[in-house]
Amino acid sequence: MEIRIGIANTGRELGFETSESADSVKKSVADALADGAPFITFSDDKGSSYLVPTASLAYVELGSDQTRRVGFVA
């Protein structure tokens, strides 16, 4: 699944692919915002980790859980 995160006062967004489900990402973001956590941790498919400060979180866009098809469909 593709995740794109907008960070306030920056011109770029953070985008990466993850194997987590959309529901688990939604729950982790909602829990961090509700608990007043200083940051949210995300992990991508390649093993990298991202720490995003909750105070400057502008938006979180979640892509579909379906993988893209490669090749021809008969």
**Each residue of 17-68: pLDDT tens digit?**
998 888 999 999 999 999 999 999 999 999 999 999 999 999 999 987 666 6
- At residue 11 the predicted structure's pLDDT band, cuts being 50, 70 and 90, is confident
**Total residue length of the chain:** 74
> What pLDDT is stored for residue 59 in this prediction?
93
> What pLDDT is stored for residue 40 in this prediction?
93
* Range 48-56 contact pairs with CB under 8 angstroms and sequence separation of 24 or more: 48/16, 50/5, 50/14, 50/16, 52/5, 52/7, 52/14, 53/7, 56/7, 56/8, 56/9
> What pLDDT is stored for residue 74 in this prediction?
58
State the Cα–Cα distance between residues 28 and 8, nearest whole angstrom: 19
| DSSP bridge partners of 61 | 4
pTM value surpassing 0.85: no
Q: Average the pLDDT over 2-12 and give the result.
A: 91
